[in-house]
Chain A
């Protein structure tokens, strides 16, 4: 196996609040190889954005990373870099916007409203490389052209409000990719877009992966978007990865009761007669995190005396496909 681009191991993130320590992410581990797209799926409050932000240490000041947590970035021709050990802002700059770029859900909120798109792109290019302003502008125009914005030489001097929603998200992608990052974090990049525009952006992102060969962490709550973009998928619930594997296997043969429930609750166009089966109950408040398996309060296959006490380990379902569930007794445990 090749060296992963980024390796996350036993990531546990807590927030210090007035109500005490709140666990947002617990024992999350995953690797992303160069050129690979990992989809991170989960509902609101599952900890997917907190996990992503940890890769660039973007979480707020009240964040406590567990001492056992490791995030290791392997850049070509460099020593492995322990991201969580970087304490000073100026050490972070090679990671933030350099080796790792991020695009966000709401492109209007991600651009400064009173600075032109071009000046924002040029500023970050000059910060992360030793280009002069003229060269940075050329590169920016090239990137805008690459993501399909017409008349890029004119558009570059416009402001975010002069762009439509789809164009803003394209400009955001152009900006994120102009520094030639090795890893792109895309946090719900298509959620705010209409379906026809979403389809354009998904196509664009697929092209860019094959052209630039970077790894992508693609965060979304939409399983259809994941199926169309990701190579592997990790399903998160209440801060834990409950199931992970190649996207075909996880969607085609879901093994964790939560993944199965999500797929049953999803209205599918290939079977209009299928009843919509909701996942029973509500997501517990983060203040009342269930002990044992985090899903046991809503699970219909709960084993009393086990699921509510012990934390399930990873069970191998198929090659490369694991789930954390005690009901999967037929196969052997790994790790």
Chain B
């Protein structure tokens, strides 16, 4: 494993939920004490269902969501930032190094700007280029890498299909030369035939530009194909982190197992393995005691209702947050 580019230590994001006259104010724990290392140069997957906190975690790392506790550090060899306490001038520099690609390519691009202006905007806002010629050169270079030609640059976003728009969003995120990219559900809005094209593009850009990706997705099949490591989130905490192959070969957390078996198989006869989770994810405003998954866990025991499990080393370089992972591995 390479040295971590981003390292999280008990990172928390809590949102206050109103105020009570007596006693402590209620809080919504969107992210609760997450510790995680994202190795430099990796394609790091973050999966979970809606409400698990995966988007909030990505935003907290980019300082777009408030960090309420713990530490997040960013080290790319040139700079060493403590993200929770980063002063404003350093934050400006960090924004050049870490960028976000959004989910919906229809909402992310201004309909009143040409593609050239959309891609050039970060350069102008951050004052990276001085002259128009310099800006144009950078825009053309990155556009070519994202397979957009000069003709495309003169048009407005409405003239483009979903896949082409996502390539524009990618060019815009990459134009300032970042090292770290958070891709939040960046292929979720695309049709299958286009999705493969964008995934292949992201992988080749990662290779060419030496990028580190945090790839947030709800689609385990996509993650299985593009990511080197996968972290699985449930209700604001990480239940399992593992090299991708290991996670799919032998999922160790009961939630990961249920998640994998819920993916509908392409083989119509393959229905028997499905392991169904009862109920739905509880509210993060009122999470269960002990292990947060115990209300839906098929193998929960008394201890799970009281003791909070922490990530512990398991076999195959995996880390899992379950008291009984060893006992519950399928034979």
On A, residues with C-beta under 8 Å from B are 43-44, 164-167, 194-200, 202-203, 221-225, 227-228, 247-248, 251, 261-270, 272, 276-279, 282-283
The interface residues of chain B lying within 8 Å CB-to-CB of A221 are 191-192
Asked if B268 is an interface residue, CB under 8 A from chain A, the answer is yes
Contact yes or no, B49 A261, CB < 8 A: no
| Per-residue interface assignment for chain B, residues 240 to 282, with 1 indicating a CB less than 8 Å from any chain A CB and 0 otherwise | 0000110010000000001111111111100100101100110
A44 with B191, Cβ < 8 A, contacts A166-B280, A283-B161 known: yes
What is the interface of chain A mostly: helix, strand, loop, or mixed? helix
14 contacts between A and B (CB under 8 A): A44-B162, A165-B280, A194-B49, A194-B281, A196-B262, A196-B277, A227-B267, A228-B268, A228-B271, A267-B196, A267-B221, A276-B225, A278-B194, A282-B163
Could you tell me if B265 and A228 are in contact, using CB atoms closer than 8 angstroms? yes
- B280/A164 in contact, CB under 8 A: yes
A247 CA to B266 CA, complexed, in Å: 10
Cα of A262 to Cα of B266 in the assembled complex, Å: 12
Chain B interface (Cβ < 8 Å from any Cβ of A): 49-50, 161-164, 191-197, 199-200, 218-222, 224-225, 244-245, 248, 258-268, 271, 274, 276-277, 280-281
For the A-B complex with A166-B280, A194-B281 known, give 14 more contacts whose Cβ atoms are closer than 8 Å.
Answer: A44-B191, A195-B218, A195-B220, A196-B262, A227-B264, A227-B266, A227-B268, A247-B268, A248-B268, A251-B266, A262-B193, A265-B196, A270-B266, A282-B161
* Nearest 10 A/B pairs, CB to CB: A279-B193, A224-B264, A278-B197, A276-B196, A194-B49, A43-B191, A278-B196, A199-B262, A267-B221, A265-B196
Given contacts A195-B218, A203-B276, A224-B265, contact A265 B49 (CB under 8 A): no
Interface centre among B197, B244, B260, B276 (most CB of A within 10 A): B197
Q: Establish whether residues A196 and B49, one from each chain, have CB atoms under 8 Å apart when the complex forms.
A: yes
Q: Are A196 and B196 in contact (CB under 8 A)?
A: no
User: Residues of A contacting B274 with CB < 8 Å?
Assistant: 199, 203
Residue of A with least CB distance to B199 = A276
Q: Which residues of B contact A166 (CB under 8 A)?
A: 280
Taking the nearest CB of chain B, how far is it from the CB of A64, in angstroms?
26
Q: Is the interface of B mostly helix, strand, loop or mixed?
A: helix
Residues of B with C-beta under 8 A to A199: 261-262, 264, 274, 276-277
Q: In the assembled complex, how far is the CB of residue B58 from the closest CB belonging to chain A, in whole angstroms?
A: 18
A223 CA to B225 CA in the complex, in Å?
A: 17
Contact call B264/A282, Cβ cutoff below 8 A: no
Task: Name B189's closest neighbour in chain A (CB-CB).
Answer: A44
Known interface pairs A267-B221, A267-B222, A268-B221; A277-B280 also in contact (CB < 8 Å): no
Question: Which A residues lie within 8 Å of B192 (CB)?
Answer: 43, 221, 223, 262, 265-266
CB distance from A254 to the nearest CB of B (A): 11
